[in-house]
Amino acid sequence: MVGRLANGWAARDSSGHLSPYSFHLRETDADDILLRVLYCGVDHTDLHQVRSEIGKTNYPLVPGHEIVGEVVEVGSQVKNFKVGDAVGVGGIIGSCGECSLCNSNLEQYCSSRVLTYNHLRQDGTPTQGGFSSAMLVHHRLAVKIPEKLAPEQAAPLMCAGVTAYSPLKQFKDSSGEVVKGGILGLGGVGHFAVMIAKAMGHHVTVISSSDKKKKEAMEDLGADAYLVSSNEAEMKEASDSLHYILDTVPAVHPLQLYISLLKAEGKLLLVGAAPQPLQFVASELILGKKAIEGSLMGSMKDMEELMSLWVEKGLKSMIEVVNVEYVNEAFERMERNDVRYRFVLDVAAWSTPLE
């Protein structure tokens, strides 16, 4: 069954250029909530997907997976949301709800997960993302936005923020020892990682290939140290010093350089989705019992915990809010690292309320 007409911004081919696009949503199922999208963050994964650089992209494609919307309709079986609620949606909008992963707050790894866009639902209908006026999501895959958290502030927490929080939370309770962490890359995810790690009481070192971002890392974000990876002397002095490194770089880069910075039993946490293979020397891991660990987004529980942390600590997402019609320029600027630190699209300012 065909439901409401939605308007969005879609890519038609691998050039990645977005333009207005209209499509029909299916009818609201018993377990669904229908959202009017208010804000949506802009992520590097969106750029990779519209260019078909990660897997195969099915066009036309409406990206966007850092979504905050207003509930305008609920299915007959939905009890945890009501019309008018502000809710957040991340990278998945469906899962089986029955497997051990779904029952362990790890639904993002469910083999039956439904991605927010560039995916098919079980009924065969394609999913489209948050650069659009409206969307449907299973009620289990949405979270309520706290009243004290502005919706535009919450939007990038749904992916960039929770992508940093989910792997870092394992270091939250340090039993009195000061956790020393490294954040590799100071972009959208990286800036959240610094803020989150500091809020957890970690000693935080920002790692970058140059000293261009040293001032903002130290003064704006409160990092404790700054390490230039191209400086051999600095890197040698910092070897075997970190409990973890959160690698947020979404491009090909040498892992070996950073593995040397880890203490014994340290972890290199990969969250940046590089579009090509990464390499390392196995002996470096073996000799120090070090590990490389991947992490995909975060769970609904992670999102709720992160928003509570944001409110409790009075943290502010560093964002630039722009109209959705600016999206192509936002992509270009993001690729040049010309944003501090996350674009958030004001979708509601462009779209019309659902009837």
Structure tokens at 121: 């639902």
- The per-residue pLDDT for 97 is 94
Sign of CA dihedral 98, 103, 105, 111: negative
Instruction: Give the confidence band of 73 by pLDDT, cuts at 50, 70, 90.
Output: very high
- The per-residue pLDDT for 129 is 98
CA–CA distance, 257 with 184 (Å, rounded to integer): 11
Q: Summarize the confidence of residues 112-126 as an average pLDDT.
A: 91
Residue with tokens 């995916």: 119
Residue with tokens 């919450």: 154
Residue 227, beta-bridge partner list: 207
> Is the bond preceding 341 in cis, omega lying within 30 degrees of 0?
yes
Asked whether residue 1 carries a pLDDT value surpassing 60, the answer given is no
Average predicted confidence (pLDDT) for the chain: 94
DSSP label at residue 174: -
Q: Note whether 183 and 205 are within 8 A (CB).
A: yes
Instruction: Give the confidence band of 125 by pLDDT, cuts at 50, 70, 90.
Output: confident
- The per-residue pLDDT for 353 is 63
Asked whether residue 303 carries a pLDDT value surpassing 70, the answer given is yes
* Residue % of the chain over a pLDDT of 70: 98
Residue 283: φ, ψ to 5°: -60, -30
Q: Note whether 44 and 63 are within 8 A (CB).
A: no
CA–CA distance, 144 with 304 (Å, rounded to integer): 8
Structure tokens at 247: 């690698």
* Residue % of the chain over a pLDDT of 90: 86
Q: Summarize the confidence of residues 33-49 as an average pLDDT.
A: 95
- The per-residue pLDDT for 251 is 84
- The per-residue pLDDT for 4 is 86
**Helix, strand or coil, per DSSP, at residue 165:** helix
Residue with tokens 């929080």: 165
Instruction: Give the confidence band of 174 by pLDDT, cuts at 50, 70, 90.
Output: low
Q: How does pLDDT run across 225-280, given as a tens digit for each residue? A: 999 999 999 999 999 999 999 999 988 898 999 999 999 999 999 998 787 889 99
Q: How does pLDDT run across 50-72, given as a tens digit for each residue? A: 999 888 999 999 999 999 999 99
Asked whether residue 124 carries a pLDDT value surpassing 90, the answer given is no
CA–CA distance, 118 with 60 (Å, rounded to integer): 9
Residue 61, beta-bridge partner list: 11
* pTM beyond cutoff 0.75: yes
Q: How does pLDDT run across 179-215, given as a tens digit for each residue? A: 999 999 998 999 999 999 999 999 999 999 999 999 9
Q: Summarize the confidence of residues 166-178 as an average pLDDT.
A: 86
